[in-house]
Structure 1
Amino acid sequence: MRYLVAVLALLAATAGPLRAGTVHDVLDWSEIDGWSQDDLDEAMRVFLETCGDLRDPDWRAVCRVGKTGAAEGLDGDTYFRAFFRPVLIEDGAEMLFTGYYEPELRGSRVQTPFYRYPLYRLPPEAAEGSFASRAEIEELGLLDGRGLEIAWLSDPVDVYFLQVQGSGRIRLTDGTALRVGYAGKNGHSYRSVGKELIRRGDMEPHKVSASAIRQWVRERGDEGRRALHHNPSYVFFREVNEVPWSRGPLGAMNRSLTAMRSVAIDPDIVKLGAPVWIEKDGAEPMRRLMVAQDTGAAIKGAQRADIFFGTGESAGRKAGTIRDGGRMVVLLPIQRAYSLATGL
């Protein structure tokens, strides 16, 4: 009880304005399916790793009390139930869960006949605003000869999907390795290649997945590569050498992601750093508490989330099959939860 008294005394901030078209409903804990079956202590540890970066007074309060309580043996179930309320945020769109991962690829620091598709650093003019489209960059060679290449890969499809994932590990021909992370983009909106292939009749909706798109593009050579130009968005990278190889890639909070505990959300609706309860349906249902530690160009809407599955080929296979419905519930500090629900 003293934890509750302490945090309520610190909750001075009210929630910001509601986003147009969204509805916030505070749920009872009994409405959370599978809550008691999850490892809530692990979820609490992941939340506490990044909650110190949250600047709002109510979030800082629950973070501070959580860290103090954890040091004194406070368990995850008691912590979240005492200081948060589950809030269902809806905007009229159905829930869609997808998955993403950190690829591990082979590459070279120098261009060779085999490794000839570059990963580029962010050019200064792209950082200032809208830049050339994917087709223009790749077909016209606008960045050739400028020394912006970080590394070279053997497959343009690998370059494309590395950009979609936003980060990756590359094992180099000289025996060393490097990690790349998101540095910026060209200012064009993301467009789904999968949806375009469905529209054109090249792929059936129930067969669309990352692996299916990879195979389709590779089998068609130049025609396949041109199909990727439907997505004009182009991602630039930076080397990320400060993150230990044993940790996950950096997410939007510039902190390492945790496999099966980190999720990408729409930050215009869900607070980056907030705990979110996942009720994913489909062939492999998932009920677990995650933390909103990342974002993505295609992740837009109140009921939209991208689950981080980890690093490497196995994680990629699992992530590429996820396209499921269900429900996502955001855990908010008590005062913020009720303020949003009442529109205060």
Structure 2
Amino acid sequence: MTALRLHWHRLLLCATPLFALLAACDGGSHKPEVAKPDTYISAKWEDLPATSDADLIAGFNAWYSACPRMAKDPVWATPCAAAAQPPTTPAAIRDFLKANLQVYGLRAGDGNDHGLITGYYEPIYTGSLQSSEKTPVPVYGVPDDLIIVSLDSIYPELKGKRLRGRLEGHVLKPYDDASTIGSKGSNAPVLAWLSNPMDLQFLQIQGSGRIQLESGRQLRIGYADQNGYPYKPVGRWLVEHGQLKKEEVSMGKIHDWANANPDKVPELLASNPSYVFFSQRPDSNEGPRGSLNIPLTTGYSVAIDRKVIPLGSLLWLSTTRPDGKPLTRPVAAQDTGGAIAGEIRADLFWGTGDQAGELAGNMKQQGQIWLLWPKGAPLPVNARQ
């Protein structure tokens, strides 16, 4: 769940188009690239919907966990320094927030204050360290011949964009697409082997996961790089070919279709040229690391559009759970995603495993977001007061 981490629920049907050789690369800067001047609307603390003491403490702690990394950022240096001895009681946390941060409501370009709130998770798939008839699907590390060129040193307007390809003589050519890698293999190291090609597809969309080995160990892997092609949603392919209705598309439905149509799976996977390469991560019980390179906190870390919300920000989220029950709490903006786009857009991390996956898969709610921004710090763009 790093810079180009892609979440399945928001990529089953839609994706942000990019040039075939360009891939967005999120960094740690607090400066968004483009946001409308009326995105941030000054608000009062009293405007925030109420949250429980437990959610207040957990949300604050999720944000504070990134302070060691954000302390050098001039925007967050003062609040993080003030939290050197972090408050621990609900009253102390409220006092700290009011003393150091100010509230801004987020608005979409049309003035709407509601947007889409979804969820993601860390999957666990059965696999092996050896290839066999049961585990024939390789999970590749980064190929030795993958060339990556940062373009912003020459073209500042392409900040965050990288060119990926392979050298043929003195010419940089596009790297192999997913179909070619799937059929011909790769010279990349193999980290593990999976039993189902659809597991690999969804692992690439999520960007990180665990592989359950026969020994009982869970091998943790995460996004390392990508072949340079834009993601084309497999869900859209199924809709366009009359296999599913748009409203039916979900990870479960796609798995069901694949199990019922194994002969058509290669054609489905070939419709998406994007291919993600992984790296092995240390074994631990902490959450996967997001774009901020700190462990995500179940229920309190979100992925955002960093053109609108800077990484590391503390947000106030008001939405509902998949069952319709209210969900209002502070959350930390600690991750990004290739198709998370919009002023009022967040992807809530639900944790690891099947139960988290069910929650994430059903999380497609409307919600509101407030930005809690350091006092005296310049806003990402000029706010409308």
In structure 2, the residue matched to 1:30 is: 46
After TM superposition, give the deviation of residue 127 of structure 1 in Å: 4.8
Amino acid paired to 1:117? V
User: Within the alignment, does 1:118 sit opposite 2:134 as a pair?
Assistant: no
User: Structure 1: which 5+ residue stretches go unaligned?
Assistant: 1-14
User: Identity rate of aligned residues, in percent?
Assistant: 33
Partner of 2:34: 19
1:304-344 superposed Cα distances (whole Å, 9 cap, x missing partner): 22111101111111111112222222221122366744479
CA contact (8 A) 1:262 1:293 kept: yes
Partner of 2:257: 216
Structure 2 unmatched runs, 5+: 1-29, 149-163, 166-174
Identify if the C-alpha distance between structure 1 residues 126 and 91 changes in structure 2 by more than 3 Å, giving closer, same or farther: farther
Length-normalised TM-score, structure 2: 0.77
Which residues of 2 match residues 134-149 of structure 1 at below 5 A? 134-139=178-183, 141-143=184-186, 146=187, 148-149=189-190
Cα distance in 1 for residues equivalent to 2:102 and 2:90: 21
Question: RCO higher in 1 or 2 (8 Å CA, sep ≥ 6)?
Answer: 2
Once the two structures are TM-superposed, the CA of residue 123 in structure 1 deviates from its matched residue by: 1.1
- Larger helix proportion, structure 1 or 2? 1
Q: Distance in 1 between matches of 2:209 and 2:233?
A: 21
CA–CA distance in structure 2, aligned partners of residues 296 and 278 of structure 1:
18
Q: Which position in structure 1 is the counterpart of 2:286?
A: 247
Shift in CA distance, 172/47, structure 1 to aligned 2, threshold 3 Å = same
TM-score for the superposition, normalised by structure 1: 0.85
Equivalent runs, 1:96-245 vs 2, <5 Å: 96-128=116-148, 129-130=164-165, 131-139=175-183, 141-143=184-186, 146=187, 148-241=189-282, 243-244=283-284
List per-residue Cα deviations over 1:146-199 (Å, max 9, x = no partner): 351100000111111111111111121244331111111111222322234334
Q: Deviations over 1:256-291 (max 9, x none)?
A: 111001111122321111112222246434212111
Query: 1:210·1:321 contact (CA, 8 Å) conserved in 2?
Result: no
Distance 1:269 1:161, change over 3 A: same
| 2-structure distance, mates of 1:233, 1:56 | 33
Aligned with 1:46 (options 47, 62, 67): 62
CA separation in 2, counterparts of 1:67 and 1:76?
A: 13
2:114 counterpart of 1:70: no
The residue identity in structure 1 corresponding to 2:222 is G
1:115 positional shift: 0.2
Q: Is the 8 A contact 1:43 1:76 kept in 2?
A: no
Determine helix, strand or coil for the equivalent of 2:145: helix
Q: Aligned Cα RMSD in Å?
A: 2.6
How far off its partner does 1:92 sit? 2.9
- Aligned residue number for residue 13 of structure 2: none
Aligned: 1:89 with 2:130: no
Alpha-carbon contact 1:26-1:337 (below 8 Å) kept? no
With 71-80 and 112-121 compared, the bigger mean Cα shift is at: 71-80
